[in-house]
Amino acid sequence: MRYTVYRARDLGQGERHIMQIGVFSVSDITTDPTTGRTPTENERIKASVAIAKKVEEIGMDVYALGEHHNRPFFSSSPTTTLAYIAAQTERITLSTATTLITTNDPVKIAEDFAMLQHLSDGRVDLVLGRGNTAPVYPWFGKNIQDGIELAIENYSLLRKLWDEDTVNWSGKFRTPLQNFTSTPRPLDDVAPFVWHGSIRTPQIAEVAAYYGDGFFANNIFWPKEHYQQLIGLYRERYEHYGHGKADQAIVGLGGQFFMRKNSQDAVKEFRPYFDNAPVYGHGPSLEDFTSQTPLTVGSPQEVIEKTLTFREAFGDYQRQLFLIDHAGLPLKTVLEQLDLFGEEVLPVLRKEYAAMKPAHVPDAPTHASRVAEALEAKVSESATAGTAGQDA
């Protein structure tokens, strides 16, 4: 198979990222129901690296990894894994599927991601969320009843740590800071782009809109009507806060697929994995789940057609991530899925997204584009100041 491989040095500020397409992992360690074999932690950790490298090889844009502190998951330190992947890749954006804003110290988040920025030459952003594991709160000395307040306060501090060299701060949940500087400082004085992830909480959509950040709706489990409400609220409030028109808000979506050249082969092969998956196994049938959620099990053409319907439901958006390494699927199968995606799906999606996107809707944010925006803002401020001085 042949792919067009783009290198980091080829991606200047003029490079357009109309839609970022990639994969995310929740880092589950699940028994393969067809063989009865359970991979080791080491195997799954090394598999995440292999998958990320394949993501770059086939020309996708993003690899994202979740954060969990309990079995059956392995990813307790996603920035460590992403830094290792950064050293072996040149182009892809490295992100998190969730960074726990409620139980992580904002100072540590600020430091870890700024460090990752420098090591990856800016190829990093993150999705902040509250996670879906209730016991994580007491494990880190927090109360789940404070979840929303923790998310709001911690993010406010995180922004200050990235945006201000010297921080004086006090709040409800953390020791005050006096004359504190987070190190290293963000690369090029531009903080990593932040997506706020939510599957159920309007307040998180409000926070994303207030700051003008991205909103990532991991719409893989529930019908689209639920996520339409959350995304609609985010878009409405994004415009309310003056960041742009509602259809210019920065939206990301989740998805899932399992493909074979022949649709019937895909269904037959994936069914035992679906039926026994820890998350949705022993619940709705595969047919019901694929009809009600973004999961597509079938041919490459079916994946293309289903994915292109997301725009009809949610409007123009900037990032599409797929969950593919879950439910016990072996690494060999995941890599085959990516090869097939790169060969038959990705070129079509790129072409269609480019054709459909209105000119006024922004491209997916990158470090280079955000550095350019910051420079433009500084030039504009200097020009305004100069004019004011002349008038005086």
The CATH number of the domain where 97 resides is what?
Answer: 3.20.20.30
Residue 322 burial class via C-beta count within 10 angstroms: exposed 0-12, middle 13-18, buried 19 and up: buried
State pLDDT tens for residues 55-90.
Answer: 999 999 999 999 999 889 999 999 999 999 999 999
Confidence of residue 292 (pLDDT cuts 50, 70, 90): confident
Q: In whole angstroms, how far apart are CA 241 and each of 94, 177, 215, 246?
A: 29, 29, 15, 10
| Percent of the chain whose predicted confidence (pLDDT) is above 70 | 93
Specify if 261 maps to a domain: yes
Specify if 379 maps to a domain: no
Of 192-196, 287-291, 387-391, give the range with the top mean pLDDT.
192-196
Q: What is the pLDDT of residue 7?
A: 32
Specify if 344 maps to a domain: yes
Specify if 3 maps to a domain: no
Q: What is the pLDDT of residue 391?
A: 59
Specify if 385 maps to a domain: no
Specify if 98 maps to a domain: yes
pTM: 0.92
Q: In whole angstroms, how far apart are CA 159 and each of 31, 125, 235?
A: 40, 14, 21
Domain that holds residue 114: 20-364
Q: What is the pLDDT of residue 133?
A: 79
Total structural domains in the chain? Answer: 1
Specify if 50 maps to a domain: yes
| Percent of the chain whose predicted confidence (pLDDT) is above 90 | 80
Q: What is the pLDDT of residue 16?
A: 53
Specify if 13 maps to a domain: no
State pLDDT tens for residues 325-343.
Answer: 999 999 999 999 999 999 9
Question: For residues 198 and 104, which has the higher predicted lDDT (pLDDT)?
Answer: 104
